[in-house]
Amino acid sequence: MDLRGRPKRCSLHFGILPFIVFALVFFGYGFVSHRSQELGTPGAMTRMVYAQPKALTPSRKDVLVLTPWLAPIIWEGTFNIDILNEQFRLQNTTVGLTVFAIKKYVVFLKLFLETAEQHFMVGHKVIYYVFTDRPADVPQVPLGAGRKLVVLTVRNYTRWQDVSMHRMEMISRFSEQRFLHEVDYLVCADVDMKFSDHVGVEILSALFGTLHPGFYSSSREAFTYERRPKSQAYIPRDEGDFYYMGAFFGGSVVEVYRLTKACHQAMVEDKANGIEAVWHDESHLNKYLLYHKPTKVLSPEYMWDQQLLGWPSIMKKLRYVAVPKNHQAIRN
């Protein structure tokens, strides 16, 4: 106090001023440094030499390469994987691959994982999310650098249709609880398949679907959509873009969460109304993608059955193919 009973404010301020300045500088640097780490420093772009794209020369003349809503359709010859790999490398992308190995379908898991290690997102970080009711039967498959496997134990169901439909519920639940914090993109695949050629970052987008190999050349009237108005999956005969396969879809975690949650809720409503869509979760997937247009569409190269369909000349590569099997024997 001074002689008039007032605090010595000036002397106090001058006394602590150096400490305030030091604290601001120290913590300010820490904040800027932390923020810099969050934002990331752009990496150096690798010098690349490749043929110049020609504005007047189409990449493919034999197939549709762009949807009416301007989403690319991915065929061999429509992309340069080296350019795309560099773009996604700069983003430090991590991709999650979900697969359900329920009951005896776990027998397909070893081949699925081994071929994924050879062809799926090579050179990028990958987390395999294996949903199974038999965690002890999950095979030990050697994984490359930056790749790991996570086993998620779930229940099984008596009917295979219920197993199929509950995938949407499981993916939506784990997307919200876990995937959102661990990966940038989710790819959702069937286990009774194998990767037979490159499947990489060219498929990644906010939301993608895959053309069904049996319907890619069919008219919408021939699509096996759910046609009963009572179902939430109902699509009238004069609507429809493509018929999408339920065995291979994906996108950003947020968009996959929205898709799977919407499909699960629609199936719950159907069940309450005593109806089951003709192709179960695939029917609801098609309804969703009709009204929420995918930002990329994968050609049938990414979902093929050579045993049933052969190898037509339009398919330059067969990337993800069905494994010959007796479905009924496995389900029983």
In a domain, 233, yes or no: yes
Task: Indicate whether 25 and 146 sit together in one domain.
Answer: no
- pLDDT, tens digit, 9 for 90 and up, residues 140-151: 999 999 999 999
Task: Indicate whether 35 and 77 sit together in one domain.
Answer: no
Q: Looking at residues 257-286, what average pLDDT do you find?
A: 96
pLDDT recorded at residue 328 = 58
In a domain, 58, yes or no: no
In a domain, 1, yes or no: yes
Domain CATH for 233:
3.90.550.10
Give the percent of the chain with pLDDT over 70.
Answer: 82
Q: Looking at residues 203-222, what average pLDDT do you find?
A: 98
Task: Indicate whether 31 and 111 sit together in one domain.
Answer: no
Provide the residue range defining the domain that includes 279: 73-331
Task: Indicate whether 130 and 245 sit together in one domain.
Answer: yes
Task: Indicate whether 133 and 190 sit together in one domain.
Answer: yes
Task: Indicate whether 16 and 130 sit together in one domain.
Answer: no
pTM of the model: 0.84
pLDDT bin (cut points 50, 70, 90) of residue 13 is very low
Out of 165-169, 262-266, 312-316, least confident range = 165-169
Is residue 172 predicted with pLDDT exceeding 60? Answer: yes
Is residue 71 predicted with pLDDT exceeding 60? Answer: yes
Task: Indicate whether 297 and 240 sit together in one domain.
Answer: yes
In a domain, 201, yes or no: yes
Q: Is the dihedral of CA 142, 199, 152, 184 positive or negative?
A: positive
**Mean pLDDT value across the chain:** 88
Cβ atoms of 100 and 167 within 8 Å: the answer is: yes
Task: Indicate whether 221 and 171 sit together in one domain.
Answer: yes
The number of domains in the chain is 2
In a domain, 56, yes or no: no
In a domain, 294, yes or no: yes
Out of 160-164, 205-209, 292-296, least confident range = 160-164
Task: Indicate whether 275 and 226 sit together in one domain.
Answer: yes
Which residues are identified as catalytic?
282
pLDDT bin (cut points 50, 70, 90) of residue 182 is very high
pLDDT recorded at residue 41 = 52
pLDDT recorded at residue 155 = 79
pLDDT recorded at residue 240 = 98
Task: Indicate whether 34 and 80 sit together in one domain.
Answer: no
In a domain, 209, yes or no: yes
In a domain, 231, yes or no: yes
